Structure 1
Amino acid sequence: MMTMGSKVLKKMLVLSMVCAMTLTLGCGSGNNAKDSSSAANKKVTLKLAHNFPASHPLAKGADEFAKKVKEKSSGSITVTVYPSGQLYNDKSMNDAIMSGGIDMGLNTVGRWSTVIPAMEVFDVPFLFPTYEKIDKALDGGLGEKLGAELLKKGVRPLIWADYGFVQFANSKHAIKTPADFAGLKLRGYGEMPSETIKALGASPVTMGSGEVYMAMQRGVVDGQTSGTTAMFDRKIYEVAKYLTITNHAYPEFILAMNEKSFQKLSKEQQKIITDASNEVRDELRKNAKTEDAAALAKLKEKGMEVYVVPASEVGIWQAATKPCWDIFIQHAGKLGQELIDICTKE
């Protein structure tokens, strides 16, 4: 039979156990909240590579992105930028992004087209008549459809970065009509640019962007196609005298991120990356036309002879390169036709 003392002792023991459990649960709850907060603010370092000289507008855009991310995250996310092909050249970068060899990379759609043929749409000659048209197409379904294709490859597009229109530069003679391309060897930065060069009557040579200057200096190629900003920053004016303004293609660059790297971030950190990306994208769009014009003026100052194809003669160039539209549809199939429809929609 239990004595009064035993009953009191038992009650005290039960009460002690309840208190202990309450304290344990309370401490555990506090730790979970702390762990959640810690996860949201965990220190992360991300590597970003590109092939532009540090002075190029898109290189500055990458630096601005890194700065915005650091500020918005109060220093919890550091984006380390590696310019000028320090880690990967434009030919090897996309494989590194897809495999997770690097977290982020800024590369041309011309290189992505070897993985996703529909990316060639930006280099379909004379598809985009104005700066405004490309942004309207991107926001009107083009970016969404191509972004979905990238995600299938384990890659998330962060910024569709406006690069500006591309032109032709060469060291042999002035190019004023498609007939003037005959006999020239020109560097193309991807398959569709190479098809365009062939359609115009020249011979395409594919090489990395960092190899072009020396190849022209040594006579391996006679010229190249790229934007005026890249021509100036890569000092193409030292190895090419003639510049023809055709505005025939508008190759976007994509700041792309390995999807696994993105998913390792907390929701708060993902939002910071997305917000910083959108802000830089808008700044690049706003400045693209101005940067093109400024670079062209500098190239003239450096002694390049510039010929601007008159609006009245663009039709001749369009007719010469029209076979490239058919080649694009062959490469990209049904999706390619859908993209053409988006881009030509009024």
Structure 2
Amino acid sequence: MIRKTFVPLLLVLCLAVLWPGQASARTVIKLGIVMPPGSGQHVTAEKFGQLLEERSGGEYAVDIFHSGSLGTETAILQQVQMGAVEMAIITLGPFDTFVPEVKVVSFPFMFRDYEQVDEVLDGPLGQEVLASLERAGFKGIAFSENGFRNLTNNVRPVHSVDDAKGLKIRVMESTLHKELWRTLGANPTPMGWPIYSELQQGTIDGQENPLWVVWTSRLFEVQKYLSLTGHVYSAHVDIANLGWFNSLPEETRTLIATCMRDAARYQRAWNRTNVADFLAKLKDAGMIVDENPDLASFKARAASLRNMDIYSDPATRELLDKFLDATSR
């Protein structure tokens, strides 16, 4: 009796040694982000990996390449296009060089609050934007959150739009963001992430990002002034390589998409819950904060973007009009 039980067990152990892939086969998905652990991007990525591994019974795992280890966001997008990386979580801005109409989501001062953001981006218009990414080889799965962007600099307080004149502001590699800050009178400087050294060395005067980015990237160490301009709602787009995604069985595609959407909702709640805490920490760290800048002066200057060449493409114009109509209600 002992011999009958022992021999099969010994055989199984030998097979596991000789063919380890057969004994514990699982698929590892590579996912790229530019931000470090503790950031909004990493919160989404980590939650997605946790949900996918749990719900697949360990069949799938996610390997997160964080802190820009794969390069800038534009570089990661190119790697996703080529299939070298299966998935990524990328700030929406850099997408507009691949699919021009996505820039409508970042039109300045368009969204009133987070509730309106969710209503629009989780609805048909948001799905239209995600679907448009397929033209560039991306499967748009969900919107997680960067947040409302605010201006920091190390030169002077910025209360009105005139105070931004001439400041050398780092912007994403995005046509919209370059044109926005040019219109606001600053000197926009497109640059990949991270930018700590450039701020420290004075290569650039300032930057604009949500509060969690300023805190987790320790920009308070190299930036003195913060103005709560909230000038653009900045989304993260959670994507996959289109060819890879479509090659998966239908039930796997559904599983991945559901896990990512759940992770995105989790991260948005995390970000919004912590906004006040991030602001308090930045004040305690010594930043001089203008909590009530003259937003009317910024809005008046930024409104002219609607009639500029960056929105002249018919498809982009039509989508922008839809977004502006939806957010004006």
* Pairwise same-fold verdict (TM > 0.5): yes
Aligned to 2:104: 121
Counterpart contact for 1:134–1:343, Cα < 8 Å: no
Pair 82,331 (structure 1): closer, same or farther in 2 beyond 3 Å: farther
Shift of 1:149: 1.1
Partner of 1:57: 40
Equivalent position SS for 1:69: helix
Q: Does 1:314 align with 2:298?
A: no
Q: CA–CA distance in 2 between the matches of 1:222 and 1:170?
A: 5
Q: Residue 333 of structure 1 aligns with which residue?
A: 314
Taking a change above 3 Å as real, the CA distance of residues 328 and 130 of structure 1, as seen in their structure-2 partners, is: farther
- Compute the displacement of 1:329 (Å): 5.8
Report deviation, 1:328. 6.7
8 A contact 1:43–1:76 mirrored in 2 = yes
> In the alignment, is residue 186 of structure 1 matched against residue 163 of structure 2?
no
Deviation at 1:224, TM superposition (A): 0.5
Please state if 1:222 is matched with 2:215.
Answer: no
SS at match of 2:234: coil
Cα offset, 1:58, TM superposition: 2.4
Is the aligned partner of 1:164 residue 2:167? no
Distance across 1 between alignment mates of 2:67 and 2:317: 32
CA distance in 2: counterparts of 1:174 and 1:82, whole angstroms: 36
Aligned-residue identity in percent: 27
Give the CA deviation at 1:234. 0.9
Counterpart of 2:268? 285
Q: TM-score, normalised by structure 2?
A: 0.87
**2:141–2:257 CA contact under 8 A, matched in 1:** yes
1:244-278 deviation line (CA, Å, top 9, x unaligned): 00111011111110012212322222221112112
Return the offset for 1:235: 0.8
CA separation of 1:291/1:220 partners in 2, compared to 1, >3 Å: closer, same or farther?
same
* Higher mean displacement: 152-161 or 286-295: 286-295
Aligned-residue RMSD, C-alpha: 1.8
Q: Deviations over 1:213-255 (max 9, x none)?
A: 1111111110001111111111110111000001110111111
Task: Give the distance between the partners of 1:302 and 1:130, measured in 2 at CA.
Answer: 27
Aligned to 2:216: 233
Q: Secondary structure at the match of 1:169?
A: strand
Is 1:164–1:227's contact at 8 Å kept on the other side of the alignment?
yes
Instruction: List alignment gaps of at least 5 residues for structure 1.
Output: 1-40
- Residue of structure 2 equivalent to 1:243: 226
Aligned residues: 303
Structure 2 unpaired stretches of 5+:
1-23
Taking the aligned partners of 2:245 and 2:321, their CA distance within structure 1 comes to 31
Tell me if 1:209 matches 2:193: yes
Larger Rg: 1
Match of 2:248 in 1: 265
DSSP-derived class of the 2:88 partner: strand
- 1:152 corresponds, among 116, 124, 135, to 135
Alignment partner, residue 180 of structure 2: 196
The separation in 2 between residues aligned to 1:130 and 1:107, in whole angstroms, is 22
User: 2:156 is paired with a residue of what secondary structure?
Assistant: coil
What is the deviation of 1:331? 4.7
Structure 2 CA distance, aligned partners of 1:42 and 1:153? 32
The verdict on how the C-alpha distance between 1:55 and 1:47 changes in structure 2, with shifts beyond 3 A counting, is: same
TM-score (norm 1): 0.83
> By how many angstroms is 1:95 displaced?
1.1
C-alpha contact 2:101 2:319 (8 A) present in aligned 1: no
Name the CA distance, whole Å, in 2 between partners of 1:108 and 1:214. 21
Tell me, in whole angstroms, the C-alpha distance in 2 between the residues paired with 1:220 and 1:106: 28
How big is the shift at 1:156?
0.7
Residue 343 (structure 1) shift: 4.1
Q: What is the alpha-carbon distance in structure 2 between the residues aligned to residue 294 and residue 118 of structure 1?
A: 34
2:304 to 308, 323, 334: 323
* Pairing 1:104–2:87 present: yes
CA contact (8 A) 1:329 1:336 kept: no
SS at match of 1:240: coil
Cα distance in structure 2, aligned partners of 1:315 and 1:333? 29
Q: Which residue of 2 aligns with 1:5?
A: none
Instruction: Please identify runs of 4+ aligned residues in structure 1 that moved more than 6 A.
Output: none
Pairing 1:41-56 to 2, within 5 Å after superposition: 43-56=26-39
